[in-house]
A and B are shown apart, each in its own frame.
Chain A
Amino acid sequence: MTIKEIFETMDYGLAPESATEAQSWIAANAPFGLYIDGKMTKAGDTFATNNPAHGTELAQVTQASPDDVERAVTAARKAQPKWAALPGHKRAQYLYALARLVQKHARLFAVLETMDNGKPIRESRDIDIPLVARHFYYHAGMAQLQDAELPDREALGVCGQIIPWNFPLLMLAWKIAPAIAMGNTVVLKPAEFTSLTALAFAQICNEAGLPKGVVNIVTGDGRVGEAIVNHEDIDKIAFTGSTEVGRLIRRATAGSGKSLTLELGGKSPYIVFDDADIDSAIEGLVDAIWFNQGQVCCAGSRLLVQEGIADRFYAKLKTRMSHLRIGDPMDKSIDVGAVIDPSQLATVTKMVEAGRHDGVVYHAPCAMPENGCYYPPTLITNMSPAATLMQEEIFGPVLVATTFRTPAEAIEVANNTRYGLAATLWTENVNLALDIAPKLVAGVVWVNGTNMFDAAAGFGGVRESGFGREGGWEGLMAYTKPRGKSKTLKPIAPVVAPKDAKVDALDRTAKFYVGGKQARPDSGYSQAIWSPKGALLGHVGIANRKDIRNAVEAATGATGWTKATAHLRAQILYYIGENLSARAAEFAGRIDAMTGGNGGKKEVEAAISRLFTYAAWADKYDGAAKPVPMRGVALAMHEAVGVIGGFCPDEAPLLGLISLMAPAIAMGNRVVLVASEAYPLAATDFYQILDTSDLPAGVVNIVTGPHADLASPMAGHLNVDAVWAHSGADISALVERESAGNLKRTWVNNAQSRDWTASESKEFLMHATEVKTVWVPYGE
């Protein structure tokens, strides 16, 4: 075309980024081996990694063998003690060097990422790689501050990390930076589609002089991931990927003692109220669902528009979609690049085909490339929550839309999902925004913006979007554990019935406490509780799955407690303490009678103190305002987890129960507690205290019965959000396995004992809360 012709058409023309340097780098290093113990190995059995934009092969990459994984874990294990023993400042220097090296090689990383993944060069250059560098800088600081700020915590050990293909290097950074900052060593597996930037990263680990074995990178398919997940000498698994695989990993690691964090799928709502800046909300959608071809776990993929503006909004959105440019991701003027792989393209195509009749499908009228793996930006309107595509994650550039009438309905529709990763809302009304944000079930909420990320701000989900946070101080909890060694728990068996029963008191019937009322066991069975001296102390009911169901139902309904002010919750906790104090001697006597010891008085005193401790914390476990690099704030808000099922310990029948209950309800949770199996009467007596302490019905529910039988209905209950298993019974594995159903949070003792007299750490508050990050950019 002549200049004069272009002068008339005003086309953009081509603006290709050069692939030359990246190609030379590949040529110099391929076929690729693995990065183990500070060295690249020779390539083994290899497979092709392709450029999805053209369908061409980029390089051969090694499929790691079980032996390779073994070597990597061994190297990581060997390196870990020395690495953790380095002063924080020394580790900070290494992380700082990695950050600098990422910046120095920024363009190589960006081009490699785009070639391997298909994402527009604009995104890898302007978003992914700068965030990678930022993550290492930020965590260099965390290493520096660790000794001073986290004296009570230490590294977990060897971390197995499995990352997805949608943000290959960024996810690597999110995993490796906090892990090694805290003194862990890692074995990381990049996704099989996108190994190249991880292998380039391996090189800069050497350039940074990172001690060998601290970072190990093994490439390959799911079999390599499986080998990592099942490896006995790995202390922690961190996985980002699909909910389906997350569930498998949860089951596979159940009872292994491994820590686990999962960052899984989503179907994040994108809510537009009628007072929003509509053009900006539409532009936000471009960054929500057409960013990275919609292959983003937190993509705003479910559009909810207030009914009165919906038609205009859709019309404007379609106009905006028509301006999207789809094509070769190496072109600097491309908005939407290639989908990762033909298999993913087929999945997206099939899903839209199957669900198209539930709504009205609009494909952006963009010029489509003839070859390569492309799917047009798509909008499906007139959807209802019942449509499959409104519930299932598509993981492609497909937006589904529905309308709502009121803010309350917006929340209802938004939360009508198994996922809970992110949510976006647009309104110019600060009252509305700050009212809605806490009500959305999501780990991240963006107000008047979307897909904003920063190392200082926690990222992660609730519900089946996984658990654990990445970024910020809260992210470090996923890579540290409380200091100190634990001892193996000595189980305490219930006292067996004596041959010569002493029955001299008036019969007292302990019932369950469900929904603020005493309830008989559904089973109709009871069990006698004897003192070691042979006295009958009373009977307790034997709960079954229906009693659990009823208790969970009651807890689920007690939502008022979660909305109550922290001050009110504190008052009630103090009041419980006061009422317990009034009957201290009776409770002490009961404990001594059950255990045959004389520690009852002390235990009751400790229990009263514990109630005071969490009454105190109720209004003091502050969130944070994160200094993210923009004009605005990212608020880290502590929210209640929801309904928590707790299995109480036997070592301290009253104090143990209160140690679980108090932090949980202080933070606004509702609980279903299964009393100590050996000494349940302290718990059943205690409900009388609750009954007289103004505690709303359903906030605390108490049942008695065999933990081994109740673990499965509790951990498998899909309306329970967390299970804390501090049981004397060996139920940790069962609880973790059954929790996979709705991926509820679990906190299990792995048959380790705990000193309940000293269990007042923030660890309890941490387990009782989720961190929700609410991004509020502002400016007039």
Chain B
Amino acid sequence: MDWVRSVQANTSAIERRCASLPGRRSVKKAHQAAWLLKAISMIDLTTLSGDDTAGRVRRLVAKAAQPVRPDLLDQLGMTGLTTGAVCVYHEMIEPARATMDQLGVTLPIAAVSTGFPAGLSPFHLRVEEIRESVKAGATEIDIVISRRHVLTGNWQALYDEMRTFRDACGDAHVKAILATGELGSLRNVARASLVCMMAGADFIKTSTGKESVNATLPVSLVMIRAIRDYFDRTGYRVGYKPAGGFSKAKDAITYLALIKEELGNDWLSPHLFRFGASSLLGDIERQLEHHLTGHYSAGYRHPIG
């Protein structure tokens, strides 16, 4: 806990680093196309709405399995590319699984859990929810932490909670959603990141998508620096998932450059990095077509999910 308490995060310095990064790294032409394809392979294609239905989730899964028009993928030499996973509520795990069976593809299914998004339902139910989702076929569980433990500096309670969630996940990967927009400071983000990693999180993730502020570059920088520190001291590689807050292909490139600069190429893999996004894919598809044709593309030329 001394380690946790000694962690510092200087907001303005972190913001300056993030503000200058897009100007420091520029990825063009074939490299840009390759990087965007890499981004697709890291997307957790997501629907987390109150009005989700089996039909809506079927479309999502189909898009995840074929994220880019097959003719474009062929030309790019990347046939068979899929997104990293799909991300849904518990009730939608079954329809997602069924669609994959029907399409003959296997993608990880991530389920948000533990009273998502606020995480304030009875604790034993939150733990039980994880078990149910794993039983239903989710291979990745996105849990939400109790923000109040962070805001009151009760790091032990946060650790215990995360530890319990981790155990409940069994073999499923667990991503810890910090809800960074509600943690008050970047220092808290850094400390919460460390505690969750110590308690066994496979990934740390920024946000639920339901907070007023979702993933930002400064928050990302703080979290991936925590990941780097954790790796330096323990040898464990923890993954990172920014969620919400970006929708443009250029944003994706900036994020990947940030990861490459701060964590290195090892993390440029779906095993260690995911984008939690719903509309990002559409912009990337248009950029890829532009790369192939030299002409700016239109949204309707690409199938929706």
Interface residues of A (CB under 8 A from B): 1-7, 9-15, 122, 125-126, 275-281, 283-284, 315-316, 323, 332-333, 335, 426, 428, 448-449, 630-632, 777-780
A305–chain B nearest beta-carbon distance, Å: 15
Is there an interface contact between B30 and A1, defined as CB atoms closer than 8 Å?
A: yes
Segment touching A, from B32-40, B107-115, B162-170: B32-40
Instruction: Name the contact of B8 in the complex, choosing from A6, A277, A316, A632 (C-beta under 8 A).
Output: A277
B12 at the interface (CB under 8 A from A): yes
Given contacts A13-B28, A14-B28, contact A779 B15 (CB under 8 A): yes
Segment touching A, from B16-24, B141-149, B191-199: B16-24
B176–chain A nearest beta-carbon distance, Å: 21
B10–chain A nearest beta-carbon distance, Å: 4
The closest CB in chain B to the CB of A11 belongs to B31
Given contacts A3-B37, A122-B24, contact A448 B30 (CB under 8 A): no
Segment touching A, from B46-54, B200-208, B260-268: B260-268
A122 to B33, CA, bound (A): 22
Q: What B residues does A448 contact at CB under 8 A? A: 10, 12-13
**Could you show 30 A-B contacts with beta carbons less than 8 Å apart?**
A3-B30, A3-B78, A7-B34, A10-B34, A10-B256, A10-B260, A12-B27, A12-B31, A13-B28, A14-B28, A122-B24, A126-B20, A126-B23, A276-B8, A277-B9, A280-B9, A280-B14, A283-B17, A315-B232, A332-B23, A333-B24, A333-B27, A428-B10, A449-B12, A449-B13, A630-B12, A777-B12, A777-B13, A779-B11, A780-B185
The 4 tightest CB contacts between A and B, nearest first, are A13-B31, A6-B34, A280-B13, A332-B26
A357–chain B nearest beta-carbon distance, Å: 30
A3 to B288, CA, bound (A): 12
A4 to B13, CA, bound (A): 36
Is there an interface contact between B31 and A779, defined as CB atoms closer than 8 Å?
A: no
Q: What A residues does B31 contact at CB under 8 A? A: 6, 11-13
A452–chain B nearest beta-carbon distance, Å: 9
B135 at the interface (CB under 8 A from A): no
Given A277-B13, A333-B25, A333-B27, 4 other A-B residues pairs in contact with their CB atoms under 8 A: A125-B23, A276-B8, A277-B14, A449-B13
A449 to B17, CA, bound (A): 10
Q: What A residues does B185 contact at CB under 8 A? A: 780
Is there an interface contact between A778 and B17, defined as CB atoms closer than 8 Å?
A: no
Instruction: Name the contact of B76 in the complex, choosing from A3, A11, A279, A631 (C-beta under 8 A).
Output: A3
The closest CB in chain A to the CB of B225 belongs to A279
Is there an interface contact between A3 and B34, defined as CB atoms closer than 8 Å?
A: yes
B230–chain A nearest beta-carbon distance, Å: 13
Q: What A residues does B12 contact at CB under 8 A? A: 448-449, 630-632, 777-779
Q: What A residues does B29 contact at CB under 8 A? A: 13
Is there an interface contact between A6 and B28, defined as CB atoms closer than 8 Å?
A: no
Q: What B residues does A279 contact at CB under 8 A? A: 225
Q: What A residues does B35 contact at CB under 8 A? A: 6, 10
B77 at the interface (CB under 8 A from A): yes
Given contacts A7-B38, A277-B8, A448-B12, contact A13 B225 (CB under 8 A): no
Q: What B residues does A277 contact at CB under 8 A? A: 8-10, 13-14
Is there an interface contact between A284 and B34, defined as CB atoms closer than 8 Å?
A: no
Most buried by A among B9, B10, B76, B78: B10
A3 to B76, CA, bound (A): 7
B267–chain A nearest beta-carbon distance, Å: 10
A10 to B9, CA, bound (A): 29
A18 to B103, CA, bound (A): 47
A9 to B265, CA, bound (A): 8
Is there an interface contact between A275 and B8, defined as CB atoms closer than 8 Å?
A: yes
The closest CB in chain A to the CB of B30 belongs to A3
Is there an interface contact between A10 and B265, defined as CB atoms closer than 8 Å?
A: yes
A727–chain B nearest beta-carbon distance, Å: 50
Instruction: Name the contact of A12 in the complex, choosing from B25, B187, B225 (C-beta under 8 A).
Output: B25
Number of A-B contacts (CB under 8 A): 106
Is there an interface contact between A4 and B78, defined as CB atoms closer than 8 Å?
A: yes
The closest CB in chain A to the CB of B12 belongs to A777
A412–chain B nearest beta-carbon distance, Å: 25
Q: What B residues does A10 contact at CB under 8 A? A: 34-35, 38, 256, 260, 265, 268
Instruction: Name the contact of A323 in the complex, choosing from B38, B225, B261 (C-beta under 8 A).
Output: B261
Is there an interface contact between A2 and B17, defined as CB atoms closer than 8 Å?
A: no
A12 to B25, CA, bound (A): 8
B76–chain A nearest beta-carbon distance, Å: 5
A323 to B264, CA, bound (A): 9
B30–chain A nearest beta-carbon distance, Å: 6
Q: Can you list, as one digit per residue, whether each of B175-195 has a CB less than 8 Å from chain A (1) or not (0)? A: 000000000011100000000
A129–chain B nearest beta-carbon distance, Å: 13
Given contacts A13-B30, A283-B17, contact A278 B77 (CB under 8 A): no
Q: What A residues does B13 contact at CB under 8 A? A: 277, 280-281, 283-284, 448-449, 777
A658 to B265, CA, bound (A): 70
Instruction: Name the contact of A7 in the complex, choosing from B8, B9, B37, B232 (C-beta under 8 A).
Output: B37
Most buried by B among A6, A15, A280, A316: A280
Is there an interface contact between A7 and B78, defined as CB atoms closer than 8 Å?
A: yes
A6 to B76, CA, bound (A): 11
A502 to B27, CA, bound (A): 95
Q: What B residues does A276 contact at CB under 8 A? A: 8, 10
B145–chain A nearest beta-carbon distance, Å: 21
A316 to B232, CA, bound (A): 9
B13–chain A nearest beta-carbon distance, Å: 4
Is there an interface contact between B20 and A428, defined as CB atoms closer than 8 Å?
A: no
Q: What B residues does A14 contact at CB under 8 A? A: 28
A436–chain B nearest beta-carbon distance, Å: 16
Per the 8 Å Cβ criterion, residues 236-285 of B in contact with A are: 256-257, 260-261, 264-265, 268
A221–chain B nearest beta-carbon distance, Å: 34
Most buried by A among B13, B77, B187, B268: B13
B35–chain A nearest beta-carbon distance, Å: 7
A485 to B28, CA, bound (A): 63
Is there an interface contact between A6 and B20, defined as CB atoms closer than 8 Å?
A: no
A777 to B34, CA, bound (A): 38
A653 to B17, CA, bound (A): 59
The closest CB in chain A to the CB of B31 belongs to A13
A319–chain B nearest beta-carbon distance, Å: 8
Instruction: Name the contact of A780 in the complex, choosing from B11, B28, B37, B76 (C-beta under 8 A).
Output: B11
B297–chain A nearest beta-carbon distance, Å: 17
Given contacts A283-B17, A449-B16, contact A122 B77 (CB under 8 A): no
Is there an interface contact between A335 and B24, defined as CB atoms closer than 8 Å?
A: yes
A280 to B13, CA, bound (A): 6
Q: What A residues does B260 contact at CB under 8 A? A: 10
Is there an interface contact between A15 and B78, defined as CB atoms closer than 8 Å?
A: no
A279 to B14, CA, bound (A): 9
B122–chain A nearest beta-carbon distance, Å: 33
The closest CB in chain A to the CB of B259 belongs to A10
A125 to B23, CA, bound (A): 9
A529–chain B nearest beta-carbon distance, Å: 63
Q: What B residues does A5 contact at CB under 8 A? A: 34
Q: What A residues does B11 contact at CB under 8 A? A: 779-780
A14 to B30, CA, bound (A): 10
Given contacts A122-B23, A333-B24, A448-B12, contact A280 B34 (CB under 8 A): no
Given contacts A6-B30, A449-B13, contact A278 B8 (CB under 8 A): yes
The closest CB in chain B to the CB of A632 belongs to B12
A449 to B15, CA, bound (A): 11
A366 to B192, CA, bound (A): 34
Q: What A residues does B264 contact at CB under 8 A? A: 323
The closest CB in chain A to the CB of B28 belongs to A15
A776–chain B nearest beta-carbon distance, Å: 9
A126 to B10, CA, bound (A): 23
Q: What A residues does B25 contact at CB under 8 A? A: 12, 332-333
The closest CB in chain A to the CB of B224 belongs to A279
B171–chain A nearest beta-carbon distance, Å: 28
Q: What A residues does B15 contact at CB under 8 A? A: 779
A283 to B186, CA, bound (A): 17
A388–chain B nearest beta-carbon distance, Å: 32
A11 to B34, CA, bound (A): 9
